Chains A and B, each alone.
Chain A
Amino acid sequence: MPIRDALPGAGALAVLQRNFGVWRKLLVPSLLGNFGDPLLYLLALGYGLGHFVGQMDGMPYITFIASGIVASSVMNTASFEGLYSAFTRMSAQHTYAAMLATPLRVSDILAGEVAWCAVKGLISAVAILIVASFFGAIQGPWVILALPVILLAGLSFGGVALVITALARSYDFFMYYFTLAVTPMFLFCGVFYPLQSLPPFAQDIAEVLPLTHAVALLRPLLTGHLPHEALYHTGVLLLYTLAAYVLGWRLLSRRLLR
């Protein structure tokens, strides 16, 4: 299959629009989760734990953790969408099969799905930003720059999730990914404490994981600073996005066009 077929076309927008249409039907429970979960996290960790922690990295703990929760929520939301929801569309509902009977190609489907993962990540992030700003945990003029970073992070997490989905035989397979990738990133990539408090080898591992770079960009942007080495962190997320897309396209083509 020639690599130029990997380039998505306008069809990807139709796929994105389809997913958005379904989401709109389930708006209320979906938004409840988007607003409810971060509220609970901020209360429990920001106030509860923050009471004992006090300051971290030169800011109140609730401010420190709010940006971490934004980043980890993008990861969780985009991953869940790219794993469970996408797998349901592919295997249980045969939605991809229906799409392929039209002029849509595998690349249109994949690009639309990854973009939708990013949009869902953005929706959850914006919900947290709104909740956290009531706690005074979001500050400064650079919040607007955080939005494209959130989208890029969503693309990279969604892309990787779709690679896993393209390989999956059943839902059980996703537990490996959650236990071996999502949960370790959640705990060791700077969401709850600065990376520097980890031993050097653990810092080296964290350095190759995408969530580390999402946190490194979002924490300064959401607390009134411009990030250091912004190009480097952005580059890593871009690399994840592109590599996952190309690999996902190959795997999905092999699976769907037999």
Chain B
Amino acid sequence: MNPAFLELRALHKRYGGREVLRGVDLAVAAGECFALVGPNGAGKSTTVRAIQGLTPTDGGEIRIGGRTLAEMGRTARADMGVVPQTDNLDPDFTVQENLWTYGRYFGLPKALIRQRSAELLEFMALSGYATQPIHALSGGMQRRLTIARALINAPKLLLLDEPTTGLDPQARHLIWQRLRELRRQGTTLLLTTHYMDEAERLADRVGIIDHGRILAEDSPRGLIATHIPGGVVELRRVDGELPDPQDLHRQWVSLSERVGDTLICYGSDLSPLLAHFGDDPAYRWIQRPASLEDVFLRLTGRDLREETE
């Protein structure tokens, strides 16, 4: 593997008495796509802010291309692109004016800004909207424009904080396609998400973060193989009562979880389980391959998190 391009070591951050980051370590190779997944309040956004040098940390070190963030100062951000969690396009400007204005913040020459803006609108399938006001764009188009804007300085490192939250499936697929294209062109990507399918589709490696620590880190397939044995069957009762109250499934599967009205069973041979419950008219079931979501839920628990980030 390439040497680490982005490296975080023992990163700590406190807000008052609350420890938000408790020793985050991660290394992202040049040209890699790394996904940081975790529940709300796990420390994803704080990590992204720290990498931009926008939050003073209480310990640890961040290196980009071998140099510490402290010695690089704000010049670090000259080679970064950021897609923030909250849209912050300029509502008073048109689509292309948003790109031009942003390019000036980087101190880029006008001709270069104009040329890149046109290319980026093309790349993000927004060419026909260059002179439209922002409010004329759909949510997905605004998101694409935010990504185009983040690329105006041709960044080496692109940070994306929940890039497709709240978008419809078509909009998400288009964005994923473009992000994979960027990765192929050599851009290093760090994205945070709480959509497991997004991490699975985009990332070379995934880090699962909770309570300010990275709990596990591997390729999506590696994480699934390590933490989930075989396939998955979900059992529910038609009447909404607790499925399998006598825990009969324990004799056939080694690993299971109860989530509300659902019993989730993991195992490489689930046929005895289905032989018993499969034809019972009181039960509904689905059989599916193990996913990153199973890993995520097993590692971070199943309690509901309130929005804190």
Contact = CB atoms under 8 A, between A and B. Distances in A.
Interface stretch (A11-19, A73-81, A187-195): A11-19
A11 B105 contact: yes
A94 B54 CA distance: 15
B106 interface: yes
B106 A257 contact: no
A97 interface: yes
Contact of A17 (B77, B86, B92, B104): B104
Interface residues of A, number: 25
Interface residues of B, number: 29
A256 B135 CA distance: 26
Contacts of A256: 54
Contacts of B301: none
A257 B55 contact: yes
Prevailing SS type, chain B contact patch: loop
Contact of A22 (B82, B92, B153): B92
A26 B93 CA distance: 11
Interface in A95-120: 95, 97-105
A258 interface: yes
Contacts of B84: 94, 97-98, 101
Contacts of B80: 101
B195 interface: no
Given A103-B77, A257-B56, A22 B93 contact: yes
A103 B106 contact: yes
Contacts of B77: 101-103
B90 A14 contact: no
A47 B105 CA distance: 48
Contacts of A94: 84, 86-88
Contact of B90 (A11, A93, A100): A93
A17 B93 CA distance: 13
Nearest to B159: A101
B88 A22 contact: no
Contact of B88 (A10, A25, A97, A105): A97
Contact of B55 (A11, A26, A95, A258): A258
B88 A21 contact: no
A97 B86 contact: yes
Q: Please provide the 10 A-B residue pairs with the shortest distance between their CB atoms, ordered closest to farther.
A: A94-B88, A102-B105, A101-B82, A98-B88, A14-B104, A22-B92, A103-B78, A103-B74, A103-B77, A18-B101
Interface of A: 10-11, 14-15, 17-18, 21-22, 25-26, 93-95, 97-105, 256-258
7 contacts: A18-B104, A25-B93, A93-B90, A95-B88, A103-B107, A258-B15, A258-B55
